[in-house]
Structure 1
Amino acid sequence: MSEKIHYLLHGIQDRYNALYQENIDKLGNQDVLVASIGGSGQSFLGNILLELGLNYADAYTEVLNPDGTNTPEPAYADYRSRLAATAKRDGHTSVPKRRWPRFVKTHLTPEFFTERPLLGAWILVRDPRDALFSWYNFRIHFAKDPLDIRAGSFERWLDQPGPNGVSRLEDWGNFYDQWTEARGGFERTTVTTFEDLKKAPVSSMRAALEELGVEVPEPDLPRAVENSSFTAMRSGTANEWKSWMTPSLRTKFSAMPMSGAARRYGYRTDAPAHRAHNAPGRPTPVRDREGRTQDIRPAPVAAATASSRSAAGASVPLGSSVITRASPGRAR
């Protein structure tokens, strides 16, 4: 059974709903997919983009229109109220200041987009311990999916097959490895870690947007970050796992293939708690099926104090702009 069919049969609003299926056919060569596992901070990133006047679309809860506008689906109003910028524009078709490129949220693997002529991909990654715990809590407390609730605990939920038929632990690694391999098929790509986004939101956002070829006025980004502070608070913090990790959970996260996948993105899930040090931006090199090294480094960011300096009006250092280019249009 193909991964796509398994999602259709077992997704139950987890990663793939009927509205998203319709929206996929509307994606084109001015769309950039923002890809992440749930619980990785996409609400915070999306809110910043909306505050900048850029076009961030939640294809799970909005109808994508050919002219670049997006029409909220009333059935998802409760969920959409979680994002301050989204709530402000609901009730009517949104017309962003800049319609293109359009940034489109996804929790799907690249397989779903192989026939679409897309502009790029923005990969958002978070420590799998924090991301999966956050996603679990969303699924049982907000989405209230019966299958997730039936698991009874986070530990059992990790072992329970997710929407693509494998455990959540295996799914995390599969998801990001597939997106890493697919990067060569896009004209523009970048990687942002949740940890950088929370530590230095202004500089990490500016570096990522630069890699994607999007310029924003100097004062706008600090203001957008400030206006997204409530969403940032709700999105959590780095290394929350240290407050709830148990010996049995540590064993699960330390085992292969999870520990190997995590290490490729700079996360040491197999290190003892007192020695664990995550260093996103220094991952183990990943090679694709043809043996070529894949660059999965996040967009370079300035020091952690960049956010406060920019808010005071000082210039924000930019990371080097390295855009992965290949034949435009198609994710492999």
Structure 2
Amino acid sequence: MVDEPFLLLHGIQDRYNALYKDNIEVLDKADVPIASIGGSGQTYLGNLLIEAGANYADPYIERLGADGSSTPEPAYDEYRNHLSGALQKSMQLSYLSSPFTSVRFFKTHLEPAFFVDTSVEGVWLLIRDPRDSLYSWFNFRRNFAKDPLDLLAADFTEWLQRPGPTGKNRLDDWADFYTHWETMAQNLSSVAISRFEDLKLGPVDELMFGLSRFGIEVDRDRLTAAVQKSEFDNMASHERKNGGLSSARIMRKGQPYEWKTWMTPATQKLFSEHRITDVAYTFGYAV
């Protein structure tokens, strides 16, 4: 497993914090991780699930209960204010959704090694074209989290080659993350895989399919309403109104295939010569 002190130094800004460590202890077979690298659309999918009435928890900023509940931790109120669904949920004080209490979905950017000693029996894997997910993560790390380690990089191309929270460069990190989760998924009873691009282009159908993998059926009209509330403009507007005086924002663009607007030959060379291309191909991406 990755060295815990190294990850804990990054806290909420990346993969792991002390609260998350505590929350892992209460997970059981009714808990389903939504696993993704940062910048892959977890905020969007989480908001969709909250708006649809599903039980979605963020163990980075909430304390999980053994009964399937999750309670907001006040220390993370400022961060939570940026997110419309998370803020709405926090106003309920202790959140235990109905009628989806049979499953508690929870956010994770951790590799499966952190869950091998738990009772977790399923996973919802969220993936995005690595060129877009890593670029989005780069912007989050530099402009919102402002971690000094990320600010050392002169640009995106250099950032890709610098060590991240696991000690590996970002390309290796992405490739290993999805390789390891795909391997673990082969031994789990319930698995869903959603691509960010499909989620944006056909959100209702993608949500219905994903939820069905865990035995959950949801009315299409209910999901359509959740999609409307989770549209980028609505979530960005919420963040502008509630995200505080700082100009730092979580919601940036939320567009599929954004890499076509900024890709440089040097950066494309890094991707095309790395094993990340093989991993991405297994999920339908020609990098």
TM-score (norm 2): 0.89
The alpha carbon displacement at 1:11 in A equals 4.1
Q: Give the gaps of 5 or more residues in structure 1.
A: 270-332
2:113 pairs with 1:95 = no
The alpha carbon displacement at 1:211 in A equals 1.5
The alpha carbon displacement at 1:126 in A equals 0.1
Other structure's SS at 1:245 match: coil
Per-residue CA shift, 1:104-146, capped at 9, x if unaligned? Answer: 1000010000010113100000000000000011111111111
The alpha carbon displacement at 1:76 in A equals 1.4
1:1-332 alignment runs, 5 A limit: 2-5=1-4, 7-8=6-7, 11-13=10-12, 14-91=14-91, 92-97=93-98, 98-229=100-231, 230-231=234-235, 234=252, 236-269=254-287
Provide the alpha-carbon RMSD of the alignment.
1.7
Name the CA distance, whole Å, in 2 between partners of 1:6 and 1:158. 22
Other structure's SS at 2:220 match: coil
Q: Give the gaps of 5 or more residues in structure 2.
A: 237-250
Name the CA distance, whole Å, in 2 between partners of 1:120 and 1:109. 14
Name the CA distance, whole Å, in 1 between partners of 2:8 and 2:162. 16
Other structure's SS at 1:151 match: coil
Aligned AA for 1:16? Y
Q: Is the 8 A contact 1:47 1:228 kept in 2?
A: yes
Distance 1:77 1:10, change over 3 A: closer
Tell me which structure has the larger Cα radius of gyration.
1
Per-residue CA shift, 1:243-263, capped at 9, x if unaligned? Answer: 111111011111121222222
Equivalent residue number for residue 248 of structure 2: none
Per-residue CA shift, 1:120-174, capped at 9, x if unaligned? Answer: 1000000000000000111111111111112232111101111111110111010
Other structure's SS at 1:260 match: helix
Name the CA distance, whole Å, in 2 between partners of 1:166 and 1:113. 20
After superposing on structure 2, the runs of 4+ consecutive aligned residues of structure 1 that deviate more than 6 Å are none
Per-residue CA shift, 1:199-231, capped at 9, x if unaligned? Answer: 000011111111221111232111111111123
Name the CA distance, whole Å, in 1 between partners of 2:45 and 2:31. 16
Q: Is the 8 A contact 1:155 1:249 kept in 2?
A: yes
Aligned AA for 1:127? D
Q: Is the 8 A contact 1:55 1:102 kept in 2?
A: yes
Aligned AA for 2:188? F
The alpha carbon displacement at 1:100 in A equals 2.7
Per-residue CA shift, 1:238-297, capped at 9, x if unaligned? Answer: 11011111111011111121222222221111xxxxxxxxxxxxxxxxxxxxxxxxxxxx
Q: Is the 8 A contact 2:55 2:105 kept in 1?
A: yes
The alpha carbon displacement at 1:9 in A equals 6.0
Distance 1:9 1:50, change over 3 A: closer
The alpha carbon displacement at 1:3 in A equals 2.0
Deviates more, 1:3-12 or 1:68-77: 3-12
Distance 1:71 1:222, change over 3 A: same
Deviates more, 1:259-268 or 1:88-97: 88-97
- Structure with the largest fraction of helix: 2
Name the CA distance, whole Å, in 1 between partners of 2:9 and 2:282. 29
Aligned AA for 1:183? A
Q: Is the 8 A contact 1:202 1:222 kept in 2?
A: yes
Deviates more, 1:87-96 or 1:181-190: 87-96
Per-residue CA shift, 1:304-330, capped at 9, x if unaligned? Answer: xxxxxxxxxxxxxxxxxxxxxxxxxxx
Equivalent residue number for residue 281 of structure 1: none
TM-score (norm 1): 0.77
